[in-house]
Amino acid sequence: MVDFRYHLVSLVAVFIALAIGIVLGAGPLREGISERLDDEVAELRTERTELRSELDVRSQQAEAKDEAVDLLSPRGVAGTLNGTRVAIVLLPGVDRNHVALLEDRVTDAGGTLALQAEVDPSFESGDTDPEVLGELGSRLALPEADDGDGAGPGTVLAATLAGADAQGEVGAWLAAGERLEDEGWLELTWQDAQAPVTDRRPPEVVLVLGGGLSAQELDPDDDGAEPRLELREELVSGLASLELPLAVAAAGTESGALAQGGGQDGLVTAIREDGSLRDEVSTVDDLEGASGRAAAVLALAWEMQGESGHYGLGEGAQAPVPAPPPLRLTSAPGAGQEPPATEPVPAPEDPAVTTAP
């Protein structure tokens, strides 16, 4: 049995050890630890300053390259959409600044901005009237939806934008567009609307601009986010089923690279992950950058050649931009010295293959 003296000796030993630790910490050991901590703090401050300087330099370089791409893009896209009637579809959440810059690039390519269609948020929020959609759908050549219901909001909008009249109908798609406007679900802006006669033929290509549904915004707790994405997919699938050359572009991967999901738009991700849509629809994920806007225009030109691709900086992108398509209606000095591209993303050259001087 342990007696009281054992406990007393143990307690005294603990206090002695504590006293020795205090003395050493306040004396010889304190000086060494303090110096080491001071050195580490100074080293971290120096490293932080160097990283900040490097970041500033990299940012300046990136801005200079973006300005260079923006300056060269008009020449790079020139003629790729000559005489092509383009419809631009604005989904809720798209940045209007990006839209204006992209429209300039479409014009540089020789395309005609025939129609701008802005989808109202109420169209995605489930406020649409099924009876109205059914009435409109009965006069349109609707693509079949995945659930077999051809009169869904996305399919009706797709047929309207594509100018797809049902057999025996003439101009039903125009009437459908007006009805969608009257319901407050859509706003249509035709080019030269103030002219005596507005050209209201169906567009030849469609550029859908997404926004507001990044991976961070597609919160599982948000009951409305997933249905909005499904409706957008239905729209894209419907346009693809109607065999209309189509590209989907959205911003995010350049400005939000460090955000959840790399800043990539949910619709772009969904298309790239869909086995059927991936081969039929082109996508661009960095519309906020000059290269992204050029890629969107060139992607449309390749779609007219029957070639789909995925461009930008995000997951699933094949290249930052596609190569210029082979169709050129005008020639610049020095043109023809290199053969035109035959595919949007050429295979990398084999470094082992060299040519004799």
Task: Please give the helix or strand (H or E) that residue 162 lies within, else none.
Answer: helix 153-162
Instruction: Say if CB 237 and CB 146 are below 8 A apart.
Output: yes
Is residue 339 assigned to a domain?
Answer: no
- 269 vs 249: CA distance, rounded Å: 11
pTM above 0.85, yes or no: no
pLDDT tens-place values along the chain, 357 residues long: 556 666 677 777 777 877 776 665 665 555 566 677 777 888 888 888 888 888 788 778 777 777 877 888 888 899 899 989 999 999 999 999 999 999 999 999 999 999 999 999 999 988 888 999 999 999 999 987 555 555 789 999 999 999 999 999 999 999 999 999 999 999 999 886 555 566 788 999 999 999 988 877 777 767 778 889 999 999 999 999 999 999 999 999 988 887 777 889 999 999 999 988 999 999 999 999 999 999 999 999 999 999 999 999 999 999 999 998 875 454 444 444 455 667 777 666 554 444 443
Burial of 345 (0-12, 13-18, 19+ CB in 10 A): middle
**pLDDT value of position 102:** 95
19: in domain: yes
Question: Is residue 346 within 8 Å of 323, Cβ to Cβ?
Answer: yes
Co-location of 146 and 238 in the same domain: yes
Tokens of 147: 């659930």
Please give the backbone phi and psi of residue 286, each rounded to the nearest 5 degrees, phi first.
-130, 55
% helix, strand, coil for the chain, step of 5: 45, 10, 45
Question: Could you list the residue range(s) of the whole structural domain that residue 53 is in?
Answer: 4-57
Place of tokens 């094949």: 318
Do 15 and 112 fall within a single domain? Answer: no
Q: Is residue 317 part of a domain?
A: no
Query: Does 245 map to a domain?
Result: yes
| CA–CA separation, 328 and 72 (whole Å) | 17
SS3 356: coil
Same domain assignment for residues 103 and 221: yes
Total structural domains within the chain: 2
